[in-house]
């Protein structure tokens, strides 16, 4: 049986088959009660009536979603028109996350490719170097970024000192600062899956392309990129999804003008003026968007696996 499990491939070790239920019970209980349960509770809260000092009144209502999508005037008696405020905030979040993803791809792809083409024994060291910053507190990284980019910060001092610029560049409190912060937060998520894909890529294909007089850039575009596409798609999703719901980068680097979903949600729960059902509804809309993206990517991945044989 042991030999079968080791060499059979599809057969799984089943020493603990009969104890499975007990072994899984703690994780099911903790995650079911404290993660899945709360998400269901949040769905219910999004359909309740708001209490003015935070919290809810247990009375079913569509007010939260209505407030999100429709404007009914100051007293709520005018014919509904589309409410653009929150849609704009969601749209900005998508746009910012998209820009951060593109930035991560532009820097992350060459990095991943470079690492994957190093000699085998040094690759883990490179990967380790790229992942270390991810494990440093996100708050500290974002604050450090802000410190570096400030008008009187080291970056501007350096640029003025070298005579490249005369006046400090304003980066903090711009859209670009937020994109840079998001890029900085999630870059390793782009590098790792792309690296894994390039590492599996068969470089004889590049050689074949070169033999047939393809230029190097043509080879990259027409041969390498399609082959590593699943890794690139995975990387883009891993950067895009957390970027969209991020709170720290827009809050610390973006200022009041660059409000994103995360800040909108946070505002509904911290402090007394919040609207819990509305915050729950905004969270549900964010979660739905994320789940759609994840499902789409899972399907793509399954398709790629099938095509790859």
Partner 1 sequence: MAHVNENIKSYRGFRSITLLCLVVLYAPLVIVTIYSFNASQSITNWEGISLRWYADVFTGPESEKFKVAAFNSFTIAIIAATASTAIATLAATAMVRGGNFKLRTVSFGLISLPLMVPEIVTAVATLIFFNAIGFTRGYMTILVAHIAFCIPFAYLPISARMQGIEDSFEQAAMDLYATRRQAFTRILMPLMAPGIISGFLLAFIVSLDDFIITNFVKGAGVETLPTAIFGSVKQGIKPNIMAISTMLLSISIVMVTISYFVSKSDNTK
Token duo for residue 104: 């991560």
Query: In angstroms, rounded to a whole number, what is the distance separating the alpha carbons of residues 107 and 187?
Result: 8
**Binding status of residue 138 toward partner 1 by CB under 8 A:** yes
Cβ at position 170, least distance to partner 1 in Å: 16
Region of 12-20, 70-78, 82-90, 165-173 interacting with partner 1 (CB under 8 A): 12-20
Alpha-helical runs (H) found in the chain? 2-8, 20-31, 37-45, 63-69, 84-116, 123-135, 138-149, 154-161, 175-200, 204-211, 216-219, 225-244, 248-249, 261-269, 276-308
**Binding status of residue 231 toward partner 1 by CB under 8 A:** no
User: Residue 78 or residue 207: which is nearer to partner 1 going by CB?
Assistant: 207
**Binding status of residue 292 toward partner 1 by CB under 8 A:** no
Cβ at position 72, least distance to partner 1 in Å: 25
Find where tokens 């359909």 sit. Answer: 47
Size of the site for partner 1 (CB under 8 A): 99
Cβ at position 138, least distance to partner 1 in Å: 7
Interaction with partner 1 in 143-172: which residues (CB under 8 A)? Answer: 143-148, 152-154
Which residues, including other chains, have CB under 8 Å from residue 277's CB and lie 6 or more apart?
Answer: 45, 46, 47, 48, 49, 50, 56, 61, 63, 64
Token duo for residue 41: 């509770």
Q: Which of 203, 218, 221, 292 binds partner 1 (CB under 8 A)?
A: 203
**Binding status of residue 140 toward partner 1 by CB under 8 A:** yes
Neighbours of 284 (CB within 10 A): 19
**Binding status of residue 128 toward partner 1 by CB under 8 A:** yes
| 73: Cα within 13 Å, side-chain hemisphere | 6
Cβ at position 105, least distance to partner 1 in Å: 12
Q: Which helix (H) or strand (E) holds 49?
A: strand 48-50
**Binding status of residue 132 toward partner 1 by CB under 8 A:** yes
User: Residue 99 or residue 252: which is nearer to partner 1 going by CB?
Assistant: 252
Length of the chain: 309
**Binding status of residue 265 toward partner 1 by CB under 8 A:** yes
User: Residue 3 or residue 74: which is nearer to partner 1 going by CB?
Assistant: 3
Show the binding pattern over residues 167-196: x = contacts partner 1 (CB under 8 A), - = does not: -----------------x--x---x-----
Cβ at position 80, least distance to partner 1 in Å: 26
């Amino acid at each position: 049986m042991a030999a079968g499990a080791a060499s059979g491939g599809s057969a799984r070790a089943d020493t603990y088959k009969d104890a499975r239920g007990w072994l899984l019970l703690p994780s099911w209980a903790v995650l079911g009660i404290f993660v899945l349960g709360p998400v269901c509770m949040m769905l219910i809260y999004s359909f309740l009536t708001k209490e003015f000092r935070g919290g809810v009144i247990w009375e079913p209502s569509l007010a939260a979603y209505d407030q999100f999508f429709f404007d009914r005037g100051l007293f709520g008696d005018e014919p509904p028109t589309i409410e653009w405020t929150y849609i704009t905030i969601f749209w900005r979040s998508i746009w910012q996350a998209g820009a951060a993803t593109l930035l991560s791809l532009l820097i992350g792809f060459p990095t991943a490719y470079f690492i994957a083409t190093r000699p085998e024994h040094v690759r883990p060291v490179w990967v380790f170097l790229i992942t270390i910053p991810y494990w440093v507190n996100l708050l500290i990284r974002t604050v450090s970024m802000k410190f570096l980019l400030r008008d009187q910060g080291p970056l501007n001092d350096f640029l003025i000192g070298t005579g490249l610029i005369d006046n400090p560049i304003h980066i903090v409190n711009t859209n670009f600062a937020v994109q840079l912060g998001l890029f900085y937060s999630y870059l390793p998520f782009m590098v790792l899956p792309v690296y894994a894909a390039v590492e599996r890529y068969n470089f004889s294909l590049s050689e074949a392309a070169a033999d047939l007089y393809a230029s190097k850039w043509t080879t990259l575009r027409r041969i390498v990129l399609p082959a590593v596409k699943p890794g690139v798609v995975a990387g883009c999703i891993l950067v895009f999804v957390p970027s969209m719901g991020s709170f720290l980068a827009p809050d610390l680097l973006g200022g009041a003008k660059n409000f994103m979903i995360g800040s909108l949600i946070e505002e509904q729960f911290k402090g007394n003026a919040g609207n819990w059902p509305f915050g729950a509804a905004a969270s549900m809309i964010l979660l739905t968007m994320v789940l759609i993206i994840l499902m789409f990517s899972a399907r793509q991945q399954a398709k790629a696996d099938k095509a790859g044989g």
